Structure 1
């Protein structure tokens, strides 16, 4: 069995500044509007301890029950690099997610790399689709005022 992770890479260009895009990932109020959020779900809990070694818990109630996401922050270099883990089980270390943001014109470009654990390789397409949805939703939310 191959024990190397499957690398999933997605990118999105934003009209917002690199700082604004970066900050959205660590602001609980903003993260609740896009991170692991689905169109039909209802966000129940968003806790973010935005420091290296800190963590997050994001729970959304969906049609088939609660979807919980857990992670730890490994690197925080505002506004260019954010590295964190992602797990559906708080007892597991989880996959490594790297978000890199570069200024591009009057906006920025975000490149996300998900190091998917080998045992979940069959979910690579679904995972890529999920991240594309998240990044597109972030673009929509950045264009809207916070209520």
Structure 2
């Protein structure tokens, strides 16, 4: 089955983008798949190889738990982690960061190991929603005062 591969050029340096994926205090502000958020996500992690993360997205339709283990961390360049949810177990997400200029970084998100095409399709939509929110966060359009 084909992987999900999404490339985005985001308006920030690669250190800022890397921090947005590694610090719970930042992740909670954007890491959700819907534009209609009931409250910020609950995020916990131990950001080390072998460490675990947990993201609970609090959406209109309910609370959704996502969790996994960090498999690789190359500061400001690459993060790999397993991805588990109510519809997929032990899939793999890899993030690659390529700085194009001081305020532009290309993010390549690759997600593999889906059980079905239907589950793969749901993740295309979910990741695009999350990345839309990440871009809003990075441009200052999605601030904590707007969450609630």
- Structure 1 segments (4+ residues) deviating >3 Å: none
> What SS does the corresponding residue of 2:122 show, helix, strand or coil?
helix
1:22 positional shift: 0.8
Q: Structure 2 CA distance, aligned partners of 1:97 and 1:36?
A: 16
- What is the correspondence of 1:1-147 to structure 2 with a 5 Å cutoff? 5-41=1-37, 42-43=39-40, 45-88=42-85, 94-106=90-102, 107-117=104-114, 119-144=115-140
* CA drift at 1:19: 0.8
CA RMSD of aligned residues (A): 2.1
What SS does the aligned partner of 1:131 have?
helix
| CA–CA separation in structure 1 for the residues paired with 2:2 and 2:47 | 27
CA drift at 1:11? 0.8
Number of aligned residue pairs: give it. Answer: 140
Task: Give 1:58 shift.
Answer: 1.0
